[in-house]
Structure 1
């Protein structure tokens, strides 16, 4: 009789634990969490956990956190859309020395490649991962051809193509390939002439490290890069502030994920001062920074630190019009988690439904969304039509 594939984080933890021959108490001790947490998760009495706990358990079990979260590829059936094709474009023998794009190929039009990159970010922030994945392999190839012919002209557009690959690979559960793509973005960015654009590529690498549970490294990369471009506020140009502020917020998120509230708040305070200088939220190099984004990350961090009251207070400073679609969706998931912790199930369900309305495709790629929905179900004796709709996203 075929074995049933584990479908909850607790079931995955149990399978990994048994495979390694650990008792629950031994795993709890190795991870530095309570045995009650391990037991509750494995019995599916509790389906959600903090990011910090998931990272600790993943490290003890020698897997990436995404394995426990159940990350994978659930792309919409767009012709040509395949996460493996993006992975293959990143881990590609053609990138080896002496294996660059063959000569004689027609040089792509730079303006057209920029239009495709712009469209790619539109798909990414709109939660259309299938659309993005379908275009990326060819986009990367054409950007490589351009960069081979004109290094200065092709550096920026190719760096962003690699960055887009890193982003979609993280969401489809291929964090190792995402790290390689982010490294390629940095390497290419160094051949360009914009230090602030290059800094945002380091920010992507830091974000990938965060998803791998490498929290101290994520913080170090972000803050060291931020220090290198730290602005003098009276003379800073706006795109410099955006690149710098995004990195400081990355460092704050990494600290919050590992439970270091004091350091996270210190970074948030620095970012808040920079955001006040920016004034209105900005989107430069497809990085966002400003007062609303400080509010978004404060909400995220305080939710992770189990301070739902502080999280929701920070959420009140966020303006929806300052956020791109999936940024708003992720923010509303944090709101939903905080509201659940305060036993406000109706409001939490409404927030989760708003998140799903951004993009069902994006929503089903979020382990955090599944955790929120599972806990909403546990809080209900009867499922509303809205909650049944949320559950259906993860079925099939």
Structure 2
């Protein structure tokens, strides 16, 4: 029976690269210990590719020790240096009740402020209505207004993301996260509500809703898209700034399929809704959203390269933007138990929330109509 050994140790990559640029590895020999003895591994600091500055995990498979004597050498048969982080990793034992209580309080405060300041047109400030009305005055075309709302959101969202390094140095990680979320969230709500309210107001370009099986196919595509859309929100405590927010370099899970899953998920979502609705407003929304996420591909890689340097270049070489491209050309080697990287609580949560959002569509539409945006 094979035994898996997972090591965690800080490191940074040296300028010396191995001959095969797509894989960092080394060969070593282990002496199989006697029962109840301690397995001693070689020092990783002696490796030409490693020094002790950043985190990595080293997975090693050792053959069946029961079939070998205590003095036999067993060569590791599967060694892969994982430079990035293990996405969607969640260990219940590491969670603190106090942190999740604080998260609940923060979430409640955010929703209250958002409702009072932006959404509530009757008893609150109703700034969202004023904002949408101001944008709507630019044109009588719903398509133009839709694109303008997306453009404003994209400029604020991507602009603040680009200023993250500078902003965090000036005001700190948590304060910058509050600033980032406090400006992006209201703009996102306005854009989504406007799309819901005006999605059937455009010029009808095609009508395919009567095609047998199309609804089921598009529903499945839309469902899968959410597994791509939310890879960076696994740590909700960081999203709410309960834990100190970090810029993560993910490498496992969905990242093995595509390095930019949010872009892929957005494209899938847009195509599904545009095919189903089939009018000019849906096309305008899709063009704006896909364009924003394509820019995010370039901008995201640029920011990760600045933050992580050579470590990002390693991840970039063995991943791809186009789904499955790195797997098909051999740059990405999937583990035999790859499916286990998805059998985790965050993915289960995404499944539940996606199904919940689907069944809550009538409630979401009714709430949007009442805002008259």
| TM-score where L is the length of structure 2 | 0.24
Which structure shows the bigger proportion of residues in strand conformation?
Answer: 2
| TM-score where L is the length of structure 1 | 0.23
